[in-house]
């Protein structure tokens, strides 16, 4: 069951997107993240999934963290580079969106 706080956050995300407050890259990243609830993403993994340049994904994820839509996760190895990274995921309440 989705809590009232989660519903409010979800509504805020879609309202922000629909108002044009989120740009196309931010929206695409969030849709990809929400398509895989509970998964965390390295920036390289998101770049491959979205077909965006790594630098674009990095910038948009920084913005989405500042907006409160993404949060950092514990460090792990990136499935692409094998390097230790700090992945991101939808904030805990946001992860149950779709």
* Length in residues, the chain: 98
Number of neighbours of residue 45 by Cβ within 10 angstroms: 20
- The pLDDT of residue 22: 83
Tens of pLDDT along 16-28? 556 556 899 999 9
Apex CA 22: angle with CA 50 and CA 85, to 5°? 45
**pLDDT one-digit tens code per residue, 26-66:** 999 999 999 998 899 999 999 999 999 999 999 999 999 99
State how far Cα 38 lies from the chain centre: 11
- Rounded CA-CA distance 13/78 in Å is 27
- Residue 13 CA, chain-centre distance (Å), reads 11
CATH class belonging to 4-96: mainly alpha
Domain boundaries, the chain: 4-96
Can you read off the two tokens belonging to residue 28? 């695409």
């Amino acid at each position: 069951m989705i809590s009232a706080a989660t519903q409010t956050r979800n509504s805020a995300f879609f309202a922000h997107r629909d108002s044009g407050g989120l740009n196309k890259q931010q929206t695409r990243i969030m849709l990809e993240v929400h398509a895989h609830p509970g998964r965390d993403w390295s920036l390289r993994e998101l770049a491959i999934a979205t077909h965006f340049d790594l630098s674009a994904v990095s910038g948009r994820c920084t913005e989405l963290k500042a907006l409160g839509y993404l949060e950092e996760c514990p460090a792990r190895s990136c499935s692409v580079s094998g390097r230790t990274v700090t992945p991101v995921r939808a904030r805990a309440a946001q992860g149950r969106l779709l």
